[in-house]
Structure 1
């Protein structure tokens, strides 16, 4: 028994490599003694159907509040498979899949595989042009997507909407469809970053996936009792382990949505509360979870992959988890090729190959280096892909003939490594210019290619720097035709970023730019990347000249930023986000501030107090001396008519940050937050008083106008009253906007009979409309109704058993108080008609019944008309990616027309 791998591997004819060289045991043969029988003829989905037979009543998949047993999941998959076959799916047919993370996404993947088709995973959050290229390059015949993305992607594919397909499949048989594929057929084509400026499609066969799943079942191991939290995007190959490893083992997938998958706090909460026993994530994600307060031991099996595991991260993960496994493998060799159980942070290696996998460390002449010398990793075995799609020249370069086994191919990874005396493989980084940043594999050449297309750029070189440990940053060094050096101006930066975001995912856009007069080169004329200078981070994206810290708090904040963000000099007016600040370093900053001052600040403080000066002022010792104005500058600079947005029921103006950032550079945006959020000021509970308070702050800020006022949800009613008051003062209100706000009229002045009749009639309509919502989106309907029922039960419990309800303290207590007072204000507020037009930004997706779906009740109150502008998403997601960008575009057009005194009806 091999204790390193946990399996017995018989010696093979490769034993002739096992010799003693320079006192080291040559491990070439032992390392590659991985041959083991596996069902090569099986398709990947056969492992799932076997789990269905063994564990029909086990939970297979949970997403939010919806769960499927293995039997339920399989029956749904089988029905959808038959519908896809009727739409043209079949053996060898390529199908693009562009769905948000959901149960339907998993169902669709399995159905595509069962139909015999080959899927191309497309993350809808990726740039439209990039997805369209993948559809075209893969010759996809079908695009399986949702109504949300209907007609969004321009391609020659037949578009099939998952909602329609699932509806059409309801009457199909649930038994297994006829199997048409074998293990040699392709399962998917997954696109990775390409060095020539275009992504390249990696072709992976069913049998390669079957092999790695069966190997991982044994080591690191998974059982039917396990719950695996799935967080990887399907465009990242490790998502295959998230989904197919549990399904091949009778275990449960707990699928995180895309927002949760990026939130360390939310992930940690799920692990703690939902009995998660396995989680696969990149080191970046593990660091996020650690920084948000993970201190205790959790019975969690940690899979870390996507980039190198650092010693300091291993030191923190080992005592907090059941097991830590370091996983290595390029997409081209089927997810993972080498794994290692890490028990000692001083001995972090990538370990030993998985079943039926051969690892060679070769020099430039393809000599096998087994004595500790550094060489390039080459991988052979059944996991090797069937090459890149439509890339014969690249295939010849990367998939070469195996010099040790005739008739086989090995893949050259471009990674450097060496063998330890005991045979473990030590990873030593990249040999070329492909890098890993925050878990994503990036071809720097692709960024350089697209950046070089921009007007005025003569040459661009991009590298990944890690001047601050654990915080890699992409830095672009640019040679301009004008010869300008230093840091580019903000307008140029925005222009370059926008151009790159049109063709590249966000994670491939450089964090920093430097303008050079010459790109350094080596004596043989190649770019000398090691000689590229460290950016002067203190000058990047700075607003104005450097101003040194003046107070002790400013010195404290500036010093912490400089240390944790790797900056040499921070001005008191420098903006955290413009300096490249991210959520992980924000957590570290807040933790350090708390340690130094004893003052705990919510993470969201950085959105409002985003400069050194502002954050330092928030740290003043005398908390009562801090004044919390209602007017919050979200994006204060710009020459256009400012937009003032009133908070919703959640009191949170941070929601508007992304929307504001997607608007024109010259568009100022302000938020209005509730009085009393500081826990000191008395909250208001009369609508007219709330509005008057906000109007007063706006006019103090801008006495002249004109004004554009908007409100989200509850905030729309406040904005309406504000507009009325401002008009009565003779102020020029050019635009009043409702962000998915319903004109709820109070029942305070109605008779008891009218209230009873109205409420009964509304209840009947709500009940009648629920099946309509359920057909459109069963998961979301159940989710929403469950939450509503939970709220009502909680509310009733507070009234019936007030002594049993746990009392909240601090921020949670006074935000609850403000919320209750806001609801009181709403219940008492009597809507009356006004001589004004309402711009109604209406969410296209409905999750609850409304008496008036067209105008949301505003028609009687806006005497100058209601202009409806449909925006993507549902009530709670209109500000979330990817909806925020389109929302911003529509809103900006409306604002510009209103400012010019033009009609907004045609927008």
Structure 2
């Protein structure tokens, strides 16, 4: 078969024809675009739902109002005195702020560069910021207070706060303001690449490339001035800014931009907004399709309740769309829709930062036309774009129709260059202006689909992770022959997101007598490292004897070759042998469930972890299987239903994670109609590993569930115990003093770990308790090598005296996610005028119902919880630190009030007076109440573990 390149022919006429179809004057620059939108469609709206919108309320600005707002900001920016064409790094979180900042920079004659969230790792963050400074020859950042806090430790940065810019703009008279006059090939907006395999490159898009993309997208989507768009992708992403804002704005389409956290925390909001705003075009990457399908397909009570007839198309990009996932999602929407005849088109797309987001699409009704492949086809290029498949070895030899090879694209929407990086620009293009995407694809009958990746990354839920960095850490696992390990991206059939396979040569013979135990330990360690690095275990771990692991002449393992062998079944014998050995290792410790309670629990465990019930052992530990704080709530609910119990206390699940132990507890609970244990503050969250155990003291709310997700990162490394306050269980009195609490905790720690060295840490209020426990242990003659103090100063008495019942309830409610931080501030004074019962009622009404269910809260439990927190406050009112410990490690995040610099220098550094050794002060991501939540704990655990290592633990 002769080689072919399947694609529409690019010509200037195509773009000109598209422009001519738009019934208005065609803008030549983005500034013309904004002016046109404001004059032709002054009353069309931009809507925003922010991260802090507790009730998902929509804030709106008309096109005319927004254009005027951007002009006032631009005039304030001019006062900075920056030369025309200077780069401004825009580092903001809300869509409206990002959008306004970008337009203001353009109007002022500056070039905005959109900065995604900075790394939580201090060294990488500092390296990136330094790289950006060198790349642009300056470092002007426009950010918010949180962003400024992250940048404080980095010198030579010119930081401007968006809040101050707004204040300045509010006083501006823009009647004489004259916008910058841009040229079509001027730099317009810069976008930073993910930097997954090194520091980011800055992709240069001009007014010409962006407008070309906007025209072509509008033609492909069928955009008109009556179209309504829903976007929840961050504005720093090229899809959020160009695909879902600039292109619709060109055609006068109204837009609703929602902060990602609002959709991810409440998937139903996605459907409610489609219904409420008659949305026609929305965006949802594969992992959100999967999440929505999982969360909603069994919600039969919602079937037929949503009006979704307006929805014409859902764009999906970021990672390949699994056909089965798309079909399940579409079927779920069909069930939820009032009109059962509704059809739902999912347009899987291919695009990159370098192509102004999606440039190849194929919108299909997946229920009416069942997909032919495991992943949805990506279809044909948008007008003006071409695609071809070539031999990746030379980058130019065309592949035949149906054969895989390197995907290349070209067209007027492709970027012009990487900023200040001629070498990277040159290597990204081949003769004829073809851009090398780095992806492996197949073109068949004019439709393209991806089949792999050339680049060394794996994409998990839309986030890129570097394969080389992962391999570096996996190489150090005991049992792995050095330099004989490779990891390759791979998506298993039916899998929702991309994963990876690990190939390695073991240091031991697979036929040795102890091979089963060694292989089990090695594979467990490889999984642990993978989860810590990229939040996901390997799809498959394949041990290959050293003599059968071939290297290239350059001494490298070929990932592509190994993956090809795996897919073709050539490694089947190694996989079978590994499974035999692992089964033998598991069998040695397997205990079959025998009692009815154990068997019922085995079924629940199997359902939560998607295992066969026959594979669940009575000796299985819930958390070692991978249980999270969310899984604990599910186990609690399903257990209560299965055993007909009014309540299984969450703490008892934490204390009895082994299936057989939990079964005994449930039997006792059922037989006695209640079960009263003596108070023990120790809650074992993770018991594997031989390292020095960690004892983590509760924050001021007294509970320890917040540590569950942190503890899992220490599996097979060291035990992780939490200390929980007294008073949660019936007939257990509150602590009456700090001394009583410390005595109880120190005795419990000694009971659990009779001899040192010890590692003690505490979060917030728990930090001062941890310090006192460490002192007490040292007074007993024990060594405490690590005392971790997380975002708490040594002097807390004044703060304790400021907290009354009302503020204590608000603090607890915010900590539990029942209200927002702004709610806690706004309600402080109004609530004090209400009775205690009325205060509780108001908080209850404000709380998200799904969160109340998740926490298994009742008004009575919340009331009692506030009393527990209040008792801890009373213990701290007369606390005055004294004495010292061997050393302290202070971890600091954004404080509840004030700047991070003041918090560190004036509040936290006095810990030096209570440490005999040199204290450490380590910046951690997040704010006081969020530093250990699901988003921040992956970064926190890396930093925390590094400090343990620095102390010799």
TM-score for the superposition, normalised by structure 2: 0.67
Q: Which one has a larger percent helix, Structure 1 or Structure 2?
A: 2
Say which SS state the counterpart of residue 812 (structure 1) adopts: coil
Q: Who is 2:138 aligned against?
A: 141
2:19 to 37, 45, 49: 37
Asked if 1:475 is matched to 2:481, the reply is no
Say which SS state the counterpart of residue 357 (structure 2) adopts: coil
Asked if 1:383 is matched to 2:413, the reply is yes
Bigger Cα displacement from structure 2, 635-644 vs 344-353: 635-644
Q: 1:336 offset after TM fit, Å?
A: 0.8
Q: Who is 1:438 aligned against?
A: 460
Contact 2:29–2:184 under 8 Å retained in 1? yes
Q: Who is 2:355 aligned against?
A: 333
Q: Who is 2:325 aligned against?
A: 313
Counterparts in 2 of 1:151-300, with a 5 A limit?
Answer: 151-152=152-153, 162=162, 171-174=171-174, 178-192=179-193, 200-217=201-218, 219=221, 221=223, 226=228, 228-232=230-234, 234=236, 237=239, 240-244=242-246, 249=252, 251-256=254-259, 260=261, 264-269=264-269, 272=272, 275=276, 277=279, 279-293=282-296, 295=299, 296=302, 298=306, 299=308
Q: Who is 1:875 aligned against?
A: 928
2:61 to 50, 69, 80: 69
CA distance in 2, matches of 1:171, 1:291: 50
CA distance in 1, matches of 2:399, 2:715: 58
Bigger Cα displacement from structure 2, 87-96 vs 838-847: 838-847
Bigger Cα displacement from structure 2, 606-615 vs 432-441: 606-615
Q: 1:427 offset after TM fit, Å?
A: 1.8
Q: 1:549 offset after TM fit, Å?
A: 4.0
Counterparts in 2 of 1:394-473, with a 5 A limit?
Answer: 399-401=429-431, 409=434, 414-420=439-445, 425=447, 427-430=449-452, 432=454, 437-440=459-462, 457-467=482-492, 469-471=494-496, 472-473=498-499
Decide whether aligned partners of structure 1 residues 101 and 746 sit closer, same or farther in structure 2, where only a CA change above 3 A counts: closer
Q: Who is 1:350 aligned against?
A: 378
Contact 1:647–1:671 under 8 Å retained in 2? no
Instruction: Write out per-residue CA displacement over residues 868-893 of structure 1, whole angstroms, 9 at most, x where no aligned residue.
Output: 96855543234356598579858986
Q: 1:224 offset after TM fit, Å?
A: 7.2
Asked if 1:304 is matched to 2:316, the reply is yes
Contact 2:684–2:720 under 8 Å retained in 1? yes
Decide whether aligned partners of structure 1 residues 426 and 362 sit closer, same or farther in structure 2, where only a CA change above 3 A counts: same
CA distance in 2, matches of 1:362, 1:519: 29
CA distance in 1, matches of 2:296, 2:464: 30
Asked if 1:644 is matched to 2:644, the reply is no
Asked if 1:131 is matched to 2:143, the reply is no
Say which SS state the counterpart of residue 632 (structure 1) adopts: strand
Contact 1:84–1:112 under 8 Å retained in 2? yes
CA distance in 1, matches of 2:61, 2:583: 52
Q: Who is 2:811 aligned against?
A: none
2:797 to 720, 740, 743: 743
Say which SS state the counterpart of residue 328 (structure 1) adopts: strand
Decide whether aligned partners of structure 1 residues 781 and 658 sit closer, same or farther in structure 2, where only a CA change above 3 A counts: closer
Decide whether aligned partners of structure 1 residues 184 and 690 sit closer, same or farther in structure 2, where only a CA change above 3 A counts: same
Decide whether aligned partners of structure 1 residues 512 and 152 sit closer, same or farther in structure 2, where only a CA change above 3 A counts: farther
CA distance in 2, matches of 1:136, 1:87: 18
Q: 1:161 offset after TM fit, Å?
A: 5.4
Q: What residue ranges of structure 2 are gaps of 5+ in the alignment? A: 54-58, 334-341, 511-517, 594-598, 808-819
Decide whether aligned partners of structure 1 residues 117 and 576 sit closer, same or farther in structure 2, where only a CA change above 3 A counts: farther
Q: 1:117 offset after TM fit, Å?
A: 1.2
CA distance in 1, matches of 2:243, 2:183: 21
Decide whether aligned partners of structure 1 residues 831 and 709 sit closer, same or farther in structure 2, where only a CA change above 3 A counts: farther
Counterparts in 2 of 1:480-491, with a 5 A limit?
Answer: none
Q: 1:812 offset after TM fit, Å?
A: 1.0
Asked if 1:117 is matched to 2:138, the reply is no
Instruction: Write out per-residue CA displacement over residues 661-708 of structure 1, whole angstroms, 9 at most, x where no aligned residue.
Output: 78999775422335676xx74564564588787667545434667877
Contact 1:41–1:183 under 8 Å retained in 2? no
Q: 1:386 offset after TM fit, Å?
A: 1.7
Contact 1:871–1:878 under 8 Å retained in 2? no
Say which SS state the counterpart of residue 326 (structure 1) adopts: strand
Q: 1:722 offset after TM fit, Å?
A: 8.1
Q: 1:173 offset after TM fit, Å?
A: 4.7
Q: What residue ranges of structure 1 are gaps of 5+ in the alignment? A: 1-20, 403-407, 748-754, 764-779, 901-907
Decide whether aligned partners of structure 1 residues 99 and 633 sit closer, same or farther in structure 2, where only a CA change above 3 A counts: farther
CA distance in 1, matches of 2:259, 2:213: 23
Decide whether aligned partners of structure 1 residues 743 and 580 sit closer, same or farther in structure 2, where only a CA change above 3 A counts: same
Contact 2:438–2:455 under 8 Å retained in 1? no
CA distance in 1, matches of 2:631, 2:715: 28
Asked if 1:821 is matched to 2:808, the reply is no
Q: 1:339 offset after TM fit, Å?
A: 2.7
Q: 1:128 offset after TM fit, Å?
A: 2.7
Contact 2:345–2:366 under 8 Å retained in 1? no
Q: Who is 1:777 aligned against?
A: none
Q: Who is 1:771 aligned against?
A: none
Instruction: Write out per-residue CA displacement over residues 516-572 of structure 1, whole angstroms, 9 at most, x where no aligned residue.
Output: 42435799998342224487589999999952242135754675577559x997777
Say which SS state the counterpart of residue 292 (structure 2) adopts: helix
Q: 1:125 offset after TM fit, Å?
A: 2.8
CA distance in 1, matches of 2:749, 2:759: 11
Decide whether aligned partners of structure 1 residues 682 and 136 sit closer, same or farther in structure 2, where only a CA change above 3 A counts: same
Contact 1:632–1:673 under 8 Å retained in 2? yes
> How well do the aligned residues superpose, as a CA RMSD in angstroms?
6.3
CA distance in 1, matches of 2:683, 2:584: 21
Decide whether aligned partners of structure 1 residues 200 and 701 sit closer, same or farther in structure 2, where only a CA change above 3 A counts: same
Q: 1:358 offset after TM fit, Å?
A: 3.7
Q: Who is 1:752 aligned against?
A: none
CA distance in 2, matches of 1:837, 1:889: 27
Decide whether aligned partners of structure 1 residues 620 and 326 sit closer, same or farther in structure 2, where only a CA change above 3 A counts: farther
Contact 2:527–2:538 under 8 Å retained in 1? no
Q: Who is 1:4 aligned against?
A: none
CA distance in 1, matches of 2:605, 2:563: 31
CA distance in 2, matches of 1:608, 1:469: 36
Instruction: Write out per-residue CA displacement over residues 273-313 of structure 1, whole angstroms, 9 at most, x where no aligned residue.
Output: 79574652321122123323464465366332122222221
Paired residues, number: 827
Q: 1:326 offset after TM fit, Å?
A: 1.9
Say which SS state the counterpart of residue 722 (structure 2) adopts: strand
Instruction: Write out per-residue CA displacement over residues 318-354 of structure 1, whole angstroms, 9 at most, x where no aligned residue.
Output: 2444744323122132201133333234135434433
CA distance in 1, matches of 2:727, 2:118: 40
CA distance in 2, matches of 1:596, 1:653: 26
Decide whether aligned partners of structure 1 residues 617 and 469 sit closer, same or farther in structure 2, where only a CA change above 3 A counts: farther
Asked if 1:547 is matched to 2:589, the reply is yes
Decide whether aligned partners of structure 1 residues 163 and 630 sit closer, same or farther in structure 2, where only a CA change above 3 A counts: same
Decide whether aligned partners of structure 1 residues 845 and 184 sit closer, same or farther in structure 2, where only a CA change above 3 A counts: same
Decide whether aligned partners of structure 1 residues 178 and 648 sit closer, same or farther in structure 2, where only a CA change above 3 A counts: same
